[in-house]
């Protein structure tokens, strides 16, 4: 089978997967765009939070893919003939990381300029 460039290969050319670092950088850029209108002092405050949130977001994506593939439980052996199942280490990490991610995102959303925040329909009705 020939590719578009005329070289032989197996099947169609696939899009190259981004590295973890590239994915984190993309997420940082996306988050920084949300906070670009903040004044300099607040931007200095949110920069470390953005970096942490971007890292956690990508880690959560990777952990979620692993959990979907391998499941949330793992077997263990306690002694010679005692077997059981428990929450996998990935599941425990995912749960803890998702709580921390939610806390960081909450901190960040509280710093978003009020004009950029979407008001809920209920809040809009109350203002009328």
Full DSSP string of 13-79 = PPPPPPPHHHHHHHHHHHHHHHTTTS-HHHHHHHHHHHHHHHHHHHHHHHHHHHHHHH-SEEEEE-S
User: What pLDDT is recorded for position 88?
Assistant: 94
CB neighbour class for 94 (10 Å; exposed up to 12, middle 13-18, buried from 19)? buried
In-domain check, residue 15: no
Q: What is the pLDDT of residues 9-50, one digit of tens each?
A: 444 444 578 999 999 999 999 999 988 888 888 888 899 999
Residue 9 placed within a domain:
no
pTM above 0.85, yes or no: no
| Domain assignment present for 54 | yes
Answer yes or no: is 16 within a domain.
Answer: no
Is position 95 within any domain?
A: yes
Question: 62-87: per-residue pLDDT in tens?
Answer: 999 999 999 999 998 888 888 999 99
Q: Give the residues across from 84 on adjacent strands.
A: 76
pLDDT of 13: 43
The range of the structural domain enclosing residue 108 comes to 21-75+84-114
* Domain assignment of residue 98, yes or no: yes
Is residue 28 situated within a structural domain?
yes
Residues in the chain: 128
């Amino acid at each position: 089978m020939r590719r578009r460039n005329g070289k032989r290969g197996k099947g169609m050319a696939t899009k190259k997967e981004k590295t973890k670092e590239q994915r984190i950088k993309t997420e940082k850029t996306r988050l920084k765009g949300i906070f670009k209108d903040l004044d300099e002092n607040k931007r200095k405050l949110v920069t470390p939070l953005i970096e942490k949130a971007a890292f956690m977001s990508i880690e959560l994506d990777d952990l979620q893919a692993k959990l979907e593939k391998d499941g949330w439980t793992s077997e263990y052996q306690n002694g010679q003939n005692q077997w059981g199942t428990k929450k996998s280490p990935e599941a425990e990490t995912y749960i803890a990381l998702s709580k921390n991610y939610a806390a960081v995102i909450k901190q960040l959303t509280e710093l978003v300029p009020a004009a950029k925040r979407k008001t809920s329909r209920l809040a809009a009705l109350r203002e009328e």
